[in-house]
Amino acid sequence: MKKRGRGVASMWYGIGNTGLPNPAAAFIEVLSDTSVNLMVGCADIGQGSTTAMAQIAAEELGLDYEDIHVTSADTMVTPEGGATSASRQTLISGNATKLAARQAKGTLAEVASGFLNVPEEDLIFRNREIYSCKDNSVRMTYKELMAEMKKHGRLAVGAGAYNPKTTYLDPQTMAGIPYEVYSYATTIAEVEVDTETGEVEVLKVVSAHDVGRSINDVMVEGQIEGGVVMGEGFAVFEKVEYSNGVIKNPIFSKYLIPTAMDAPDIYSVVVECEGECGAYGAKGVGEPALIPSIPAIAAAVEDAIGVHFTSLPITPTDVLRELDKQKER
Amino acid sequence: MKEFSFFSPGTLDEALSLLSQHKDSVSVIAGGTDIVLELNERAHTAQAVVDISKIKDLRYVKVVDGVVRIGALSTFTDLENDPYIRDHVKSLYSACYYVGSPQIRNLGTIGGNVANASVAGDTPTALISLDATVVLRSAAGKREMKITDFYSGAGKTQLEKDELLTEIYFDAPTENMATAYTKLGKRKALVIVVIGLAVLLERDCNNICSKAQVVIGAVARYPKRLPSIEHYLVGKPITKETFEGCRDMFSQIVYDMIPTRASVGYKKESVKGVANKTFNSILKDFSLSGGEE
């Protein structure tokens, strides 16, 4: 018989460790053809941080995404970026990128202010143009600005470094404020359990994540989808088998992760709110995407067959064993 | 990887002559989905490897005079996409469909699956339920045998080193027959079979079972016919109740096959679910109630 169940799980997750120093930096230069070199230590391991850094630089400088050429994680030229871990890069390298862009923009604004005869604080940089917020007919293109820069022998360079305010934790109790900001999420999973074969099929997952400000919706959705499938693996497939301290299945034909055929229908919900300290309010979603999917699936299995599992993964063998015990009771 | 000589004949005659020349130490490669792994893992020691994949004449599916003939080099994808197999030989269709992934199915051949005799092969289980015959050729001639006899050797198949499996054939299922194959695995794709169950049933005009061929795979070393189940089914009406009546028999059969194996606890229980799925598919094919919706 097939039994369906639903489970809900919520979480909050700290982004930007403050217990210890946690810095990252960026270098930037706007070139005379209005293209931009951005150098960040931030390593893109597939999550899309290089794209996000380019978007943040473009937003700050009033240029287009296509104008930004990013060199990332190349220790020959890029500054310290810290680890791509702890869901921190959008927050920390994102802020460093924004600060670097702002410094370069300071020089650009000085020159534009002289040319347009508009106070620096009234200048708006947007869509490859610079104009006055009081009268947008007073304007110049980025190309004109870069020509003007050249005339004055000015270079639009910037360096930015960001470190969340290090609060340190109490060495005895570890009490304190451990993170700069928190991400929040709720995941709902629907599963179908085959009570004859013990198979658990994850049918549908809805996962809603407060990311502060979404720098790139499609990438955030991708992160959520990846996290859900990874969570499915943790919940029902991935089992490390060992004996006498030796792992018996260190190979992907025996340590099973979900295939595309196993992935559920995933509905990613991106929630935006005041993100406080991040660039444009962006927080992080890397780990949050994974975490609540696991208890949501386990709770859905419990809802379906009335068994509360206390270890993962929940394999077909476990399901049949527990159903058998249930029958005996 | 150990060194070996590689041959790529374009015709069957050339291939057979190469096999007879090198029969002391030769391996045949078709799709390579099994043997390339063996080569890379250095388990493979043959001095000569004969690649038969260029012999186009061995890639076909045809129905002639009520007999389905399948060339050994037909890939799983070929069979999965063949309208006749899909509509009339559901057990073989399902067995092919559940092999590995699209990439593996594009390369892997039915001949390789049969000849390699992996304990976890999908198509042998289905082919035994269809009472298939294999055609083996060598430079010296040709012989044919039932696929059950092909697997009767002690731990190996009946294939000699100078022989090539060239064709598999079986009687085309009639209007009064239904076939089904169920694969239980640990996930939905790219997975080794835990239990495979293939069934062919024939009914008479009163919906009484007149023939039953039931085969279980991945439990014993080779797929095995289950005479006690077949005997139970023949003469009974084809209904959900009849099928439910043999669920516990399946459980006992699996237990008796592997009483000491660690997986026996799970397999003897889950086989009941596998049997249910398979028989539901049969009921559906016969348009009887109780079949899967």
Count CB atoms within 10 A of the CB of residue B103: 11
Note the pLDDT of residue A274. Answer: 79
Q: Are residues B114 and B46 in the same domain?
A: no
Handedness of CA A215, A216, A219, A225 (dihedral sign): positive
The stretch B154-180 carries a mean pLDDT of: 93
- Asked if the Cβ–Cβ distance from B186 to A237 is below 8 Å, we say yes
What is the DSSP pairing of strand B48-51 with strand B26-29?
parallel
Q: Are residues A323 and A184 in the same domain?
A: yes
Q: Are residues A27 and A147 in the same domain?
A: yes
Q: Are residues B182 and B165 in the same domain?
A: no
Q: Are residues A202 and A318 in the same domain?
A: yes
Q: Are residues B226 and B242 in the same domain?
A: yes
Where in the sequence is the domain holding B37, given as residue range(s)? 5-51
Count CA atoms within 13 Å of residue A91 on its CB side: 30
A27 in a structural domain = yes
Note the pLDDT of residue B291. Answer: 65
Tens of pLDDT, residues A147-199: 999 999 999 999 999 999 999 999 999 999 999 999 999 999 999 999 999 99
A168 in a structural domain = no
Could you say which of B116, B147, B171 is where a domain stops? B171
The stretch B194-223 carries a mean pLDDT of: 95
B266 in a structural domain = yes
Q: Are residues A6 and A38 in the same domain?
A: no
Note the pLDDT of residue A328. Answer: 86
Q: Are residues A105 and A207 in the same domain?
A: no
Residue A275 in this model has a pLDDT that exceeds 90? no
Confidence label for B141 from pLDDT (cuts 50, 70 and 90): very high
Q: Are residues B64 and B167 in the same domain?
A: yes
For Cα atoms B12, B16, B20, give the angle at the middle one, nearest 5 degrees.
Answer: 170
Residue A52 in this model has a pLDDT that exceeds 80? yes
The SS3 assignment for A41 reads coil
Q: For chain B, what is the mean pLDDT?
A: 93
Most confident of B32-41, B260-269, B282-291: B260-269
Q: Are residues A9 and A88 in the same domain?
A: no
> Which residue of A257, A262, A315, A317 to mutate against B (max B Cβ within 10 Å)?
A317
Count CB atoms within 10 A of the CB of residue B147: 23
Amino acid residing at A267: Y
Residue B241 in this model has a pLDDT that exceeds 70? yes
The stretch B165-194 carries a mean pLDDT of: 95
A317 in a structural domain = yes
Could you say which of A130, A162, A194 is where a domain stops? A162
Note the pLDDT of residue B44. Answer: 64
Q: Are residues B31 and B74 in the same domain?
A: no
The stretch A51-64 carries a mean pLDDT of: 98
Q: Are residues A221 and A302 in the same domain?
A: yes
A41 in a structural domain = yes
A189 in a structural domain = yes
Q: Are residues A92 and A230 in the same domain?
A: no
Note the pLDDT of residue B170. Answer: 98
**Looking at the complex, does the CB of residue B197 fall below 8 Å from at least one CB of chain A?**
no
Distance (Å, rounded) from C-alpha B125 to C-alpha B122? Answer: 6
Contact in structure between B76 and B99 (CB atoms under 8 Å): yes
B66 in a structural domain = yes
- Asked if the Cβ–Cβ distance from A320 to B272 is below 8 Å, we say no
Note the pLDDT of residue B293. Answer: 47
A206: distance to nearest CA of chain B, Å?
21
Q: Are residues B151 and B222 in the same domain?
A: no
Name the percent of chain A in helix, strand, coil, to the closest 5.
35, 30, 40
Q: Are residues A280 and A319 in the same domain?
A: yes
CATH code of B129's domain: 3.30.465.10
Q: Are residues A10 and A55 in the same domain?
A: no
CATH code of B201's domain: 3.30.390.50
B97: distance to nearest CA of chain A, Å?
13
Bigger pLDDT: B261 vs B2: B261
Residue B35 in this model has a pLDDT that exceeds 90? no
Total domains present in chain A? 2
Q: For chain A, what is the mean pLDDT?
A: 96
B131 in a structural domain = yes
Note the pLDDT of residue B154. Answer: 57
CATH code of A229's domain: 3.30.365.10
Total domains present in chain B? 3
- Asked if the Cβ–Cβ distance from B272 to A262 is below 8 Å, we say no
**Looking at the complex, does the CB of residue B57 fall below 8 Å from at least one CB of chain A?**
no
Q: Are residues A250 and A194 in the same domain?
A: yes
**Looking at the complex, does the CB of residue B274 fall below 8 Å from at least one CB of chain A?**
yes
Where in the sequence is the domain holding A294, given as residue range(s)? 2-14+177-328
B290 in a structural domain = no
B291 in a structural domain = no
Note the pLDDT of residue A66. Answer: 98
Note the pLDDT of residue B120. Answer: 77
A213 in a structural domain = yes
Q: Are residues A318 and A181 in the same domain?
A: yes
B44 in a structural domain = yes
Q: Are residues B89 and B156 in the same domain?
A: yes
Cα-based distances in Å from A216 to A25, A102, A160, A209, B161 = 21, 21, 22, 14, 60
The residues of A that are catalytic are 287
A108 in a structural domain = yes
B163-198 exposure pattern, b = at least 16 Cβ within 10 A, e = fewer: bbbbbbbbebbeeebbbbbbbbbbbbbbbbbbbbbb
List strand residue ranges (DSSP E) for B52-194, in order: 61-64, 67-71, 133-138, 141-146, 164-171, 177-184
* Cβ within 8 Å of B, A 299-318: 315-317
Residue count of chain A: 329
Note the pLDDT of residue B288. Answer: 83
Residue A291 in this model has a pLDDT that exceeds 80? yes
Contact in structure between B112 and B166 (CB atoms under 8 Å): no
The stretch A100-122 carries a mean pLDDT of: 98
Residue that is written with structure tokens 């009163």 in the block: B206
**Looking at the complex, does the CB of residue A196 fall below 8 Å from at least one CB of chain B?**
yes
**Chain B: residue whose CA lies nearest to A261:** B188
Which secondary-structure segment (H or E) carries B99? Answer: none
The DSSP symbol for A48 reads: -
B12 in a structural domain = yes
Residue A224 in this model has a pLDDT that exceeds 80? yes
A193 in a structural domain = yes
The stretch A123-149 carries a mean pLDDT of: 97
